[in-house]
Amino acid sequence: MTRDELENTAESLAQAADAASDEAQDRLQNQAAKFEDYATADRGPDHGQLARHEHILHDIADDEGGAVADHVDDALESITEFRSTLEGV
């Protein structure tokens, strides 16, 4: 089962990686790969996992700014949409 919001997150992060500096590019590519995995996994991420990703993404967006931050913001919006479907917190 594909989770559209998580696939959108992966796509936004891949776009952010294309616009990022070398170090941030690697970090964003790793994040994008994790969200691609989540999008097709039998069980998606929980609130705790998503919170850790959000923290990392906020740090990258703050450091990089510009187009990278815009794409990361899009990814964070998709994460928020996905989180609204999860039970719990």
Q: What is the mean pLDDT of residues 57-75?
A: 97
Average pLDDT of 26-54?
96
The pTM of the full predicted model, rounded to 2 decimals, is 0.93
Structural contact between residues 16 and 28, judged by C-beta atoms closer than 8 angstroms: yes
Q: Report the C-alpha gap between 72 and 41 in whole angstroms.
A: 22
pLDDT beyond 80 at 60: yes
Q: Does 1 score more than 70 pLDDT?
A: no
Answer whether residue 2 shows pLDDT above 70.
no
CB 13 within 8 A of CB 71: yes
For the chain, the 3-state helix, strand and coil shares in percent, each to the nearest 5, are 80, 0, 20
